[in-house]
A = this chain, B = another copy of it.
Amino acid sequence: MLSSPAIITAMRQKKFILPESEIPARWYNIMADMKQLPQPMLNPKTHEPVKAEDLYHLFCKACSDQELDTVNRWIDIPEAVREKYSYWRCTPLVRAYGLEEALGTPAHIYFKNESVSPIGSHKLNSALAQAYYCSQEGISNITTETGAGQWGAALSYAAKVFGLECAVYQVRISYEQKPYRKSMMQAFGAQVTPSPSMSTRAGKDILTACPHHQGSLGTAISEAVELATTTPNCRYTLGSVLNHVALHQTVIGLEAEKQMALAGEYPDIVIACFGGGSNFGGLAFPFLRHTLTEGTKTRYIAAEPASCPKLTKGEFRYDYGDESGYTPLIPMFTLGHDFQPANIHAGGLRYHGAGAIVSQLLKDSLIEAVDIRQLDSFKAGLLFARTEGIIPAPESCHAIAAAVGEALGCKERGEKKVILFNLSGHGLVDMSAYDQYLSGSMSNTGD
């Protein structure tokens, strides 16, 4: 009387799930397969290529070694890290039927759902690795920068897991826009300081030159690097840009590759949003290895904000990773290390440069980039929320907008392409951004 027909028909499969035993045992190091390696990082004083030992005062040894490793294609994931991955991994690969139907596209759209991480984003993949290595090397304190707070929240939890003290410099505009991420970091026991702060020389220099500075990732990196290099037994950790961070993120693509096989498809187009490159690399590099080694034809699209367009409008040259010039010189597509990004809500994408590997791949036309305006990103993100149920992080909205653009292109041309994008995180702690979008008071530049 109450119910639907008693015969339950087979549903179309929405999610492609792997058991814990399929959590990758090794990360993929794309440098072992690149025909054109990135140019070396340079010591900012001597302009000589950096050796791993030159980085040991800044990063833990394991990550310094990984940073320069161009030989080992596969790097074992420590069991302690893999065990912590099992708290939420493997993450689902999801077919976005709801979004496809709303767009009326013949394309098949899949997304890798990294938002199911307890912290809400992919950042934990590298945070756990970096905190673990530090703990193994007897380091007691770690520090970092964070924009929107996804990385800072992940590192705060990872530090707690491995018994480390953690100090985070959060970009001031995000600290104010997203107070809950600060609260998350504090709940995990971290100290959080809005950046620029008066607690470092770098912060003081910036604040005295520019009293109302809203902060940027480049500035916050300077502060964290200064703290790490002037504090005994303290190391710096970074949430993107560097090779070893992208390396740790390759669990995303390695899982996705197996899951696409479960779905019986292979992506024609792989898309991720782009801040420093680790989210993009994490999804794309495992697929790119087939392009590099077997010539597989796949398009790889990095979606960056139009207001911070290093890939589409930046210059390829050596530049610093931070505003104050503390870091090694990195060969990168850059807007200049003193570039002041607009106050968009996608705090994780407000960075002036691209990692060395991704920059080289773009230079060699192996990947593409597209720039997305803030309003277009939220339009796509809201459509995704209403059709797939998940409110995406402002950063992830850029990937969604790029995927929507490609799917609509398929519709126009009647093409049944397979599109895969990374849902790097959810936006439940970014709701003020959606408020602003819905109220019509959002601009493309955050002004």
Chain A: residues with CB nearer than 8 A to chain B? 1-6, 8-15, 17, 19-21, 25-26, 62, 65-66, 69, 72, 75-80, 82-83, 86-88, 94, 98, 116, 118-120, 124, 157, 160-161, 179-180, 183-184, 186-189, 382, 385-386, 388-391, 426, 428-429, 431-432, 434-435, 438
Contact = CB atoms under 8 A, between A and B. Distances in A.
A183 B383 CA distance: 15
Given A2-B72, A184-B391, A9 B79 contact: yes
A428 B180 contact: yes
Contacts of A69: 2
Contact of A11 (B15, B20, B94): B20
Contacts of A120: 428
Contacts of A19: 17
A14 B20 contact: yes
A33 to B, nearest CB: 17
A78 B388 contact: no
Contacts of A187: 382, 385-386, 391, 431, 434, 438
13 contacts: A2-B65, A2-B72, A2-B75, A4-B79, A5-B79, A11-B21, A14-B87, A15-B86, A87-B94, A124-B389, A180-B180, A187-B434, A428-B428
Given A119-B389, A180-B428, A385-B187, A3 B160 contact: no
Given A180-B429, A183-B435, A435-B183, A2 B83 contact: no
Contact of A87 (B83, B88, B388): B388
A385 B8 contact: no
Given A187-B391, A386-B189, A11 B438 contact: no
B118 A390 contact: yes
A89 to B, nearest CB: 9
Contacts of A186: 434-435, 438
A157 B389 contact: yes
Contact of A428 (B14, B184, B388): B184
Given A15-B20, A118-B390, A2 B428 contact: no
A175 to B, nearest CB: 13
Contacts of A12: 83
A423 to B, nearest CB: 11
List of 7 A-B pairs having minimum Cβ-Cβ separation, nearest first: A3-B76, A183-B431, A118-B389, A4-B78, A180-B431, A14-B86, A118-B390
A88 B390 CA distance: 10
Contacts of A21: 10-11
A149 B2 CA distance: 29
A314 B10 CA distance: 46
B188 A386 contact: yes
Contacts of A161: 389
A391 B20 CA distance: 22
B1 A65 contact: yes
A184 to B, nearest CB: 6
